[in-house]
Amino acid sequence: MTTTPTAPPTDVADRATAGFRHRYGGEPAGRWAAPGRVNLIGEHTDYNEGFVLPFALPLRTVVAAAPRDDERWTVWSELDADPVEFGPAEADRPGRVTGWAAYVAGVVWALRAAGHRVPGARLAVASDVPVGSGLSSSAAVEAAVLAALVELGRLDLPTDRWPRLAQRAENDYVGAPTGIMDQSAVIRGRAGHALFLDCRTEDVQQIPFDLQAAGLAMLVVDSRAPHRHADGEYAARRKSCEQAAEALGVPALRDVDVADLDAALAKLPDDETRRRVRHVVTEDRRVLDTVALLRAGRVGDIGPLLTASHASMRDDFEITVPEVDTAVDAALAAGAYGARMTGGGFGGCVLALVDADRAQAVADAVTAAYAERGFAAPGTRTVLPAGGAARLD
């Protein structure tokens, strides 16, 4: 029997192990995985202290790791040729480790800042979560590293406290202002469920979301649109919402009930602010309505809420771009029950709820619409809600 010489393994867990062996020699003590996520519905509601409904994806980041005797951390990722090494001096000063390794150093920092004795470790990271497409590759790295360090160090840290810690790593060490949604979804996600998260109380509830049983599939289209001005626009939306809440005399827009929306809008100074508020208030309602339908087992009926969410983001919140609008329109024309951009906007991914046996036809229709408009070909895949961060073996 002949063996072909070494092509890199295709399985992400095997790639993490192969990376570990190649960089460090020897075997990892274990492998820990965390998924990417998408938000089913509830966009720009998080910082308005409202509701979101993400689910974990079957795409994972895997960390192969082993402890070392000294208090230092070496991390290698497929994203880079060379490993990065740091010690307590760098880990304890946010910003000292930069680039992708900052997401790892940030986790070490957040654990140490919370008083934990973090074991020195060698880590190798492999991932199937696309970077920068809005599927939260960043939270996946944080959660997988956290899972590895907690177990290697036998740290006393229950999983319900992981999301805050991972969020601190990203906010305070890396310096990226994100809410608690991504980390909650990738840590607490459960197969066959979406995670209903109240961003004010941080209360989470597992909501049955069994696409397969309903003969449905969720198509994820990576719009491949360049993120144009996303940071500045995000800050502007956030500011508008905060100013509107102040004008309305409420702590956050979450406190405006959809039944009182017209009265609230009448108190606002200009049309743009009114449309921003209308998006947030109606979007919170759509999340609650989606949760109610899913609880009643009516998965196929959530389509119109997804499509209404998209229209609201396009017309009222003005955060869509031609690529995502094209994907949504093409998916609906090809028979999707509902479709919407997911994520903060100005690019990222589109979700389309489709009959499982129509998924390919809808994906093809989106690809054809892109070609017609002269856009770069989109990425398409179907996903089912998967489980959160866990040890693999």
The number of beta carbons lying within 10 Å of the beta carbon of residue 28 is: 22
Q: Which stretch binds ligand ADP (CB under 6 A): 131-139, 201-209, 220-228, 325-333?
A: 131-139
Q: Select from 105, 121, 141, 268 the one that contacts ligand ADP (CB under 6 A).
A: 141
Active site residue 315: no
The nearest distance, CB 135 to Mg ion, in angstroms, is 8
Pick between residue 59 and residue 363 the one whose CB is nearest to ligand ADP: 59
Q: Identify the active-site residue in 46, 182, 284, 316.
A: 182
Please give the Cα distance from 305 to 307 (Å, whole number): 5
DSSP string, 96-136: SS-TTHHHHHHHHHHHHHTT--PPPEEEEEEE-SPTTSSS-
Q: Which residues pair with 86 in a beta bridge?
A: 73
Pick between residue 138 and residue 342 the one whose CB is nearest to Mg ion: 138
Determine which helix (DSSP H) or strand (DSSP E) holds 303, and give its type and residue range: helix 303-311
Most distant pair of Cα atoms in the chain: their distance: 79
Q: Does 127 contact ligand ADP by CB under 6 A? A: yes
Q: Does 131 contact ligand ADP by CB under 6 A? A: yes
Q: What are residue 257's phi and psi, to 5 degrees?
A: -80, 145
Q: Select from 67, 87, 95, 132 the one that contacts ligand ADP (CB under 6 A).
A: 132
Among Mg ion, ligand ADP, none, the one that 350 touches (CB under a kind-dependent 5 to 8 A) is none
Among ligand ADP, Mg ion, none, the one that 132 touches (CB under a kind-dependent 5 to 8 A) is ligand ADP
Residue whose CB is nearest to Mg ion in the complex, by number: 138
Residues 130-149 contacting Mg ion, CB under 5 A: 136, 138
In sequence order, which residues have a C-beta less than 8 Å from that of residue 169 and are 6 or more positions away? 103, 106, 107, 109, 110, 142
Q: Select from 39, 48, 138, 240 the one that contacts ligand ADP (CB under 6 A).
A: 138
Among ligand ADP, Mg ion, none, the one that 303 touches (CB under a kind-dependent 5 to 8 A) is none
Q: Does 127 contact Mg ion by CB under 5 A? A: no
In sequence order, which residues have a C-beta less than 8 Å from that of residue 304 and are 6 or more positions away? 337, 338
Query: Residues for the chain: how many in total?
Result: 393
Q: Select from 136, 167, 307, 367 the one that contacts ligand ADP (CB under 6 A).
A: 136
The nearest distance, CB 13 to ligand ADP, in angstroms, is 13
In this structure, which amino acid lies at residue 136? S
* Strand residue runs (E) in 227-374: 338-342, 349-355
Q: Select from 79, 114, 311, 392 the one that contacts ligand ADP (CB under 6 A).
A: 79
Place of tokens 């590293």: 145
Place of tokens 């490993």: 83
149, 34 Cβ separation under 8 angstroms = no
Residues 86-105 contacting ligand ADP, CB under 6 A: 100, 103
The nearest distance, CB 219 to Mg ion, in angstroms, is 22
Q: Which stretch binds ligand ADP (CB under 6 A): 84-92, 135-143, 269-277, 350-358?
A: 135-143
Please give the Cα distance from 294 to 301 (Å, whole number): 9
Paired tokens of 339:
């479709």
Q: Does 17 contact ligand ADP by CB under 6 A? A: no
**Which chain residues interact with ligand ADP by CB under 6 A?**
61, 77, 79, 100, 103, 125, 127, 131-138, 141
Catalytic annotation, residues:
182
**Which chain residues interact with Mg ion by CB under 5 A?**
136, 138
